[in-house]
């Protein structure tokens, strides 16, 4: 799912459509553009920096900032109805920092989901460069055996799910979507779904889901590294315009210890000062993780409300990453199962006459909370994977212009996020979390690989155009 030429591809689709039929309704093209500005400030707590020695490096707390991070994002969406009940959907995305062909300005040494390269499932969702890449591409066969059932396979649209779409001013993804407190990560996989008509449960459907999180490639005899796979059961009990109730259970098996495409580190030549990038591939499977949770949304007039909650439970196998840390435990400690919790709630009020929308959100994760959410639409770190609290307020102003395209819409969004971290390791399952207030410059037992932020702020502005 790497580099592609989607513009050429879309032209081929158009040419084929003109040759095959006068009615081009079999092909739909849409997309979006976003400009984003972020002013970022954070505070690193006192800590001991891990450097491979028993004592580490005592490091006093300090402030970090990026006053003006500027970003461009462009997405191109395609839907092709190839046969009766057979369709293909695809999305291509470019996401980059102004003035750079690397993501360096948008990344830091603070969080695992924004450090040392990208995971396969975050491509197009964290800044990279100006290459259009495949976000999702999948085929669906509907009305299986004449029943209200479907089978879908390919690169899945398992990002930007509900209720996160509310602050994005986007419509809810249909039956392909999932609660974004549980998954915000693009999987290659498959889904088998069923949507029976039940009068008491309007819009209800259920899905069995599978995804491949990491592939080991060819293995020599005696190799111990295994593929990472995810399995899930999703049920929407009610799915109407005003009410949505959804539950999900998922399990990750043989969880990898580093980003799926490797952890990028640097080596400096002490003689010449030259810096060389080194890719450190996945080295160990750390165990399994189970998740369960759900979301309830409701709409009354102009008021949109939601409540989402989830639980994670780790089952470590005792293996260590780099000989130092396992699944939520450190070398020398017991490989115990740990249970984490998260809650996400908020709402948005829409003033229909003016196109103004005002929203507020809050989410909190416990000490051992693990979220599979690294593709979240946040700059510091995916907020739904935070071990601590995140407060967010925003104002959306839609442009009062007549739509020309089918999904034509444009709006400005001004928002503010405040992160208050209680424990280290947000969006990371490698190593034991440490209470932020317990960190200091004298205790080597609490060494940290990444600089531990105790708080972070983001004042952001976006201009979005959908077509």
Give pLDDT tens digits for 225-263.
999 999 999 999 999 999 999 999 999 999 999 888 888
Secondary structure (DSSP) of 299-314: EETTEEEEEEEEEEEE
For 95-119, what is each residue's pLDDT tens digit? 999 999 988 889 899 999 998 766 8
Q: Is residue 451's pLDDT more than 70?
A: yes
Rg, Å, the chain Cα set? 23
pLDDT of residue 176: 84
What's phi and psi for 446, nearest 5 deg? -110, 30
Across 65-76, average pLDDT? 97
Task: With a cut of 80, say whether residue 392 has pLDDT above it.
Answer: yes
pLDDT, position 4: 44
pLDDT at 112 (0 to 100): 94
Mean pLDDT value across residues 277-297:
94
pLDDT digits (tens, 9 = 90+) for 195-231: 999 999 999 999 999 999 999 999 889 889 999 999 9
| Stronger pLDDT, 337 or 102, i.e. the higher one | 337
Query: Predicted confidence band at 2 (pLDDT cuts at 50, 70, 90)?
Result: very low
- The pLDDT value given to residue 8: 42
Give the per-residue pLDDT at 23: 58
Where does the pLDDT of residue 18 fall: very low under 50, low under 70, confident under 90, or very high at 90 and above?
very low
**Are 179 and 308 a contacting pair, CB within 8 Å?**
yes
Which has the higher per-residue pLDDT, 175 or 299? 299
- Spell out a b/e string for 147-166, using b for 16 or more CB atoms within 10 Å of the CB, else e: eebbebebbbbbbbbbbbbb
Give 12's pLDDT tier (boundaries 50, 70, 90). very low
Across 20-29, 350-359, 413-422, least confident range: 20-29
Q: Is the pLDDT of residue 24 over 70?
A: no
Percent of the chain with pLDDT over 70: 94
Six token digits for residue 388: 């601590």
pLDDT of residue 269: 75
The pLDDT of residue 21 is 43
CA atoms within 13 Å, Cβ hemisphere of 166 = 32
pLDDT at 13 over 70: no
Of all residues in the chain, what percent carry a pLDDT higher than 90? 83
Let me know if domain 6-466 sits in CATH 2.40.160.10: yes
Does the structure show a pLDDT above 60 at 19? no
Q: Are strands 453-466 and 409-421 parallel, antiparallel or unpaired?
A: antiparallel
Per the CB < 8 A criterion, the answer to whether 354 and 320 are in contact is no
The mean of the pLDDT values for the chain is 92
What's the confidence (pLDDT) of residue 7?
Answer: 44
Does residue 147 sit in helix, strand or coil? coil
Q: Is the omega angle on the peptide bond into residue 163 within 30 degrees of 0, that is, cis? A: yes
Euclidean distance between CA atoms 194 and 204, whole angstroms:
9
Q: What does the pLDDT read at residue 264?
A: 78
pTM of the model: 0.91
């Amino acid at each position: 799912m790497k580099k592609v030429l989607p513009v050429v591809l879309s032209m081929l689709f158009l040419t084929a459509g003109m040759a095959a039929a006068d009615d081009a309704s079999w092909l739909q093209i849409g997309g979006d553009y976003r400009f984003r500005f972020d002013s970022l400030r954070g505070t690193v707590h006192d800590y001991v920096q891990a450097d491979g020695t028993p004592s580490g490096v005592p490091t006093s707390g300090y402030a970090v900032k990026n006053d003006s991070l500027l970003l461009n994002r462009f997405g191109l969406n395609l839907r092709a109805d190839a046969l009766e009940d057979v369709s293909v959907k695809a999305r291509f995305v470019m996401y980059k920092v102004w003035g750079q062909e690397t993501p360096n300005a948008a990344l830091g040494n603070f969080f695992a989901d924004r450090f040392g390269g990208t995971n396969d499932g975050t491509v197009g969702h964290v800044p990279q460069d100006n290459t259009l890449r495949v976000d999702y591409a999948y085929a669906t066969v509907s009305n299986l055996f004449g029943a209200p059932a479907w089978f879908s396979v390919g690169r899945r649209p398992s990002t930007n799910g509900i209720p996160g779409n509310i602050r994005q001013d986007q419509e809810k993804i249909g039956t392909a979507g999932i609660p974004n407190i549980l998954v915000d990560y693009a999987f290659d996989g498959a889904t088998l779904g069923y949507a029976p008509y039940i009068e008491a449960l309007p819009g209800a459907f259920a899905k069995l889901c599978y995804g491949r999180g990491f592939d080991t490639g060819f293995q020599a005899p005696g190799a111990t590294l295994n593929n990472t796979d995810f399995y899930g059961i999703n049920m929407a009990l009610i799915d109407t315009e005003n009410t949505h109730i959804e539950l999900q259970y998922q399990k990750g098996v043989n969880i990898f210890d580093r980003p799926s495409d490797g952890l990028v580190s640097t080596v400096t030549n002490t003689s010449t000062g030259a810096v060389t990038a080194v890719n450190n591939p996945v080295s160990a499977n750390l165990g399994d993780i189970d998740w369960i949770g759900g979301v309830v949304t409701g709409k009354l007039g102009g008021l949109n409300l939601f409540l989402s909650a989830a639980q994670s439970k780790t089952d470590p196998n005792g293996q260590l990453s780099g000989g130092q840390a396992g699944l939520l435990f450190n070398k020398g400690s017991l490989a115990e199962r740990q249970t984490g919790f998260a809650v996400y709630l908020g709402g948005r009020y829409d003033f229909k006459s003016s196109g103004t929308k005002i929203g507020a959100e809050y989410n909190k994760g416990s000490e051992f909370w693990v979220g599979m959410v690294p593709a979240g639409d946040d700059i510091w770190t995916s907020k739904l994977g935070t071990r601590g609290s995140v407060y967010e307020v925003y104002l959306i102003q839609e442009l009062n212009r007549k739509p020309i395209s089918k999904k034509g819409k444009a709006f400005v969004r001004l928002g503010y996020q405040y992160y208050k971290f209680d424990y280290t390791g947000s969006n990371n399952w490698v190593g034991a979390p440490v209470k932020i207030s317990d960190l200091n410059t004298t205790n080597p037992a609490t060494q940290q690989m990444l600089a531990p932020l105790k708080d972070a702020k983001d004042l952001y502005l976006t201009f979005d155009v959908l077509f």
